[in-house]
Structure 1
Amino acid sequence: MGKEVAIEVGRAIEEAAAIDWRDKDGGWVNYIRLRVKIDILKPLRRVVHLVGRDGTEIVCAIKYERLPVFCYICGLIGHSTKKCNRSEELGVENNQNFQYGNWLRVQVGGQTQTRGNWRNGIEVIEEEKKLGGESTD
């Protein structure tokens, strides 16, 4: 997966902040690891739709590392399912029909994930900042 695709996936989620290339040629051939900024006032994204070179639609599942408490009913970070005030509005009865779940969490600790110097191999994406009409180089 190329850098351009990684940035587009990050933008689809919210705003891409960094791309981790450590596992590019190693253990995670089916995954790309991004650091993104998330608006916690919006529900978590579950999938990203991409269009392949041949025009076919590709649906990519999103998983989150270090995901805090979030609601399986509305997908918002900050409260649990038991404390959701939208359960009736969204038609969830007896803990069924959840649109979100623990499957959004990455299971950490596998052999392909290292806990060493995490900055090594991460490319930080910086957008040009402008102050008073001038760029900061």
Structure 2
Amino acid sequence: MEAVAWTFRPLWKTKENFNITNAGNNVLLFALELEVDVEKVLLREPWSFDCHLVLFQRFDGSKPSKDLDFKLCSFWVQIHDLPYQFLTPKAAVEITETIGPVTVSRDTAEMKGGTFMRVRVVIDISRPLCGGRKIMYDEDSERWASFQYERLPNICFWRGMLSHDDKECELWLRSKGTLSVESQQFGHWI
């Protein structure tokens, strides 16, 4: 717990201090004194510790901590390979709504990345990441728009999962290390 506090305290730069309690089963309860500090931490997701994703969830203490379901995290998702006519906030939201709920920013300037668009999406980490979508330009043509996720921690390149990395993957373990890198579905491009 001390290492976690030592890592996050300077990153979060909270106005007031916070306390950490170990709830067991890899769950830590962070008690932040100010709502503005809570919002700041949640808005700057994803967080990682030792290259592993750290999931946060609001908790009011009304139920046992063992009943908390840690499977959602917000990521900035970049949409690449879009034609110029689709480099709009509206198109970016419509495309990324297919992978999770979108948080639309009040400042649409942060959605524009030059040759790509970026959108904040709540991702269900119990499912593989989505590498992109086919986009219909008109009745006769379609094209692949690829997704890149900002600030990804360790990821399994075999299955696209955030819950484990390559060396912990069942596919890798069952193969006894014989799978080739070329057979990975994902790579550093994601």
Which category describes the TM-score, using the shorter chain as reference length? 0.5 to 0.7
Task: Return the alpha-carbon distance in structure 2 between the equivalents of residues 12 and 36 of structure 1.
Answer: 10
1:22 maps to 2:109: yes
Runs of 4+ aligned structure 1 residues displaced above 4 Å come to none
Aligned residue in 1 for 2:135: 50
Query: Which one has the bigger strand percentage?
Result: 2
Aligned residue in 1 for 2:94: 8
Aligned residue in 2 for 1:84: 169
Alpha-carbon offset, residue 48 of structure 1: 1.3
Alpha-carbon offset, residue 55 of structure 1: 3.7
Task: Return the alpha-carbon distance in structure 1 between the equivalents of residues 151 and 104 of structure 2.
Answer: 16
Aligned residue in 2 for 1:128: none
Task: Return the alpha-carbon distance in structure 1 between the equivalents of residues 90 and 123 of structure 2.
Answer: 20
Task: Describe how 1:99-114 pairs up with structure 2 within 5 A.
Answer: 99-104=185-190
Letter in 2 for 1:48: R
In structure 1, the residue corresponding to 2:93 is in which secondary structure? helix
Q: 1:15 to 1:55 in 2, by over 3 A?
A: farther
Larger Cα-atom Rg: 2
For structure 2, list consecutive stretches of 5 or more residues without a partner in the other structure: 1-86
Query: Which one has the bigger helix percentage?
Result: 2
Aligned residue in 2 for 1:59: 144
* Identity between Structure 1 and Structure 2 (%): 26
Task: Return the alpha-carbon distance in structure 2 between the equivalents of residues 54 and 29 of structure 1.
Answer: 27
In structure 1, the residue corresponding to 2:149 is in which secondary structure? coil
**TM-score (normalised: structure 2):** 0.46
Native 8 Å contact 2:89 2:117 kept in 1: no
Aligned residues: 100
Task: Return the alpha-carbon distance in structure 2 between the equivalents of residues 97 and 23 of structure 1.
Answer: 35
Task: Return the alpha-carbon distance in structure 1 between the equivalents of residues 115 and 110 of structure 2.
Answer: 10
Alpha-carbon offset, residue 23 of structure 1: 5.6
Native 8 Å contact 1:23 1:29 kept in 2: no
Q: Bigger relative contact order, structure 1 or 2, given CA contacts below 8 A and separation 6+?
A: 1
Cα deviation digits, residues 43-78 of structure 1 (max 9, x gap):
001111111135411211100111121100011102
For structure 1, list consecutive stretches of 5 or more residues without a partner in the other structure: 105-137
In structure 2, the residue corresponding to 1:67 is in which secondary structure? coil
Q: 1:29 to 1:55 in 2, by over 3 A?
A: farther
